[in-house]
Amino acid sequence: MAGDMKTDVKKLAPAGMAAPGGHYSHATIANGFVFVSGLLPIAPDGSRLVDAAFDVQVTRVLTNLETTLIAAGSGIDRLVQVRVYIDSVENWPEFNTLYAKWAGDARPARAVVPTGPLHFGLKVEVEAVALVGEQISSTQQ
């Protein structure tokens, strides 16, 4: 049925994000979920944080993720799954600490995958799936 929230596919280009560097959308909304493409530590002006320290890159990529979630009508508390690609397993503990602070009480399913060098020489990439819409309280379930 046309216009049905459950069947429409909406591509998202959030304000405050650099344009995608390839043939993709930052996020796609379908069937009550937002699917967030792999986000890199790229500033809103398009500058790549290649020479930035790992913690600066993580902070930027998590900010990009949160910006995308909010633009989709979602949020950190609505995350279902997060996949993280890091350039080295040695960065896993620092990533985990920064991520835990950012995510707070949210504990979506997550994978952290050491990959070796990432695109442009960046150190972290994050993709995610989240629910769209307001959280249902435990009394409404």
H or E element in which residue 57 lies:
helix 54-71
Class of domain 9-131: alpha beta
Q: How far apart are CA 111 and CA 121, in angstroms?
A: 21
Contact between residue 30 and residue 122 where contact means Cβ atoms under 8 Å apart: no
pLDDT means per 10 residues in the chain (141 residues)? 66 91 93 97 96 98 97 97 98 98 98 95 98 60 36
Max distance between CA atoms of the chain, in angstroms, equals: 49
Q: How far apart are CA 41 and CA 72, in angstroms?
A: 19
The reported pTM is 0.89
